[in-house]
Amino acid sequence: MLQRLLSILILTLFTACGGYQFVENDNPLAIHGIRSVSVPMFVNKSPLPNVGAIVSKEITLLLSGYPGLKVNSGEDLSSDAILIGIIEGEQRLSEVMNTTERKFTSGDLKTSLGNRQEFYVPIGTNVTVKVRFVMIKNPRTEEVELVKSELGSLMNGNPKVVMSQTLDLTADFTRVVGATTTVDSPWIVNLTKNKAILERALEDGSKSLAQQFKDVVLNAF
C-alpha cells in the first residue's frame, strides 16, 4: 500500500513538472517593449581594416538567436530600436597593436639583412580597441547621426537610450616571417598571409566580444 502511494506521488510530481518549460534564450529586450531591432554596420573609427563588418556580423548572429526578437540588417528606423556600434581606437595601426613576442633575425632571416646588424622582429601581437554599443528606442535619423558623431555623449541620459555600454575587443595573432633572399622572395606572400591571419584573429575576437556582450549587457536586462 505504501509503495503504491509513493508511486502515485512520484507520477503526480512528474506530471506537474511536465507543463513547465525553461527557455534560457528569451528576448532580453522585451522588458523595454522591443521586439524588433535593426543593426547597421558598426562604425569603424579605428585603423583596423574591415573590423566594422566583422563585429556587426557577430552581434547580428547573436541577437538573431533570441526567439521573439526580429533582427533587421541596415539602418531600418521602422524597428522598435536600433543598435549603433562604434569601434574606437588610436589613429595609427601601430598604436592599437602591442608586441607580445619577438624573433631574432638569425639563420635564414640573417641572409635577408645583408650587412645590416641583426635585430628582433615582432611576430606575436595583441590588438585592443573599444566598442561602444548604444541602443535607441523609436529612433530618429538625427538621433542616430548624433550618436555616431563626436558629440555622441550628448545622448547620455536621453530616456530613449535603453543601452549604452563600452567593451574591449581584443585579438591575438602570430605573424608569418620569412627570409628575403631571391627575386621569388616570400615577402608578398607573407604580407598576404598576415592580412588573412589578422582578419581571422579579429573574427575570433568578435565572437568573444559577442559572448561578452551577451553575458555583461543582455543578461543584465
Q: Is residue 99 part of a domain?
A: yes
Give the pLDDT mean for 142-149. Answer: 96
Q: Is residue 2 part of a domain?
A: no
Q: Is residue 58 part of a domain?
A: yes
Q: Tell me: the pLDDT tens digits for 171-188? A: 998 875 555 555 444 444
Q: Is residue 103 part of a domain?
A: yes
How many residues are present in the chain?
221
pLDDT at 27 over 50: yes
The whole-angstrom separation of Cα 89 and Cα 128 is 8
The pLDDT value given to residue 3: 55
The pLDDT value given to residue 101: 66
The whole-angstrom separation of Cα 94 and Cα 154 is 31
Query: pLDDT band at residue 20, thresholds of 50, 70 and 90?
Result: very low
Strands of 142-199, DSSP E: 161-174
The helix (run of H) or strand (run of E) holding residue 135 is: strand 120-137
The pLDDT value given to residue 39: 97
Q: Identify the CATH number of the domain in which residue 175 sits.
A: 3.30.160.150
Give the pLDDT mean for 139-161. Answer: 94
The pLDDT value given to residue 98: 86
Please provide the distance, in angstroms rounded to a whole number, between the alpha carbons at the two ends of the chain. Answer: 51
Q: Is residue 95 part of a domain?
A: yes
The parent domain of residue 199 ranges over 25-220
Q: Do residues 133 and 165 lie in contact, with contact meaning Cβ atoms separated by under 8 Å?
A: yes
Q: Is residue 205 part of a domain?
A: yes
Domain count, the chain: 1
pTM for this predicted structure: 0.75
The pLDDT value given to residue 176: 56
Q: Is residue 50 part of a domain?
A: yes
Q: Tell me: the pLDDT tens digits for 85-140? A: 999 998 888 888 887 766 545 555 545 544 555 544 666 789 999 999 999 999 99
Q: Is residue 138 part of a domain?
A: yes
The pLDDT value given to residue 97: 83
The mean pLDDT value of the chain amounts to: 80
Other beta carbons within 10 Å of 87:
20
Q: Tell me: the pLDDT tens digits for 40-74? A: 999 999 999 899 999 999 999 999 999 999 999 89
The pLDDT value given to residue 220: 85
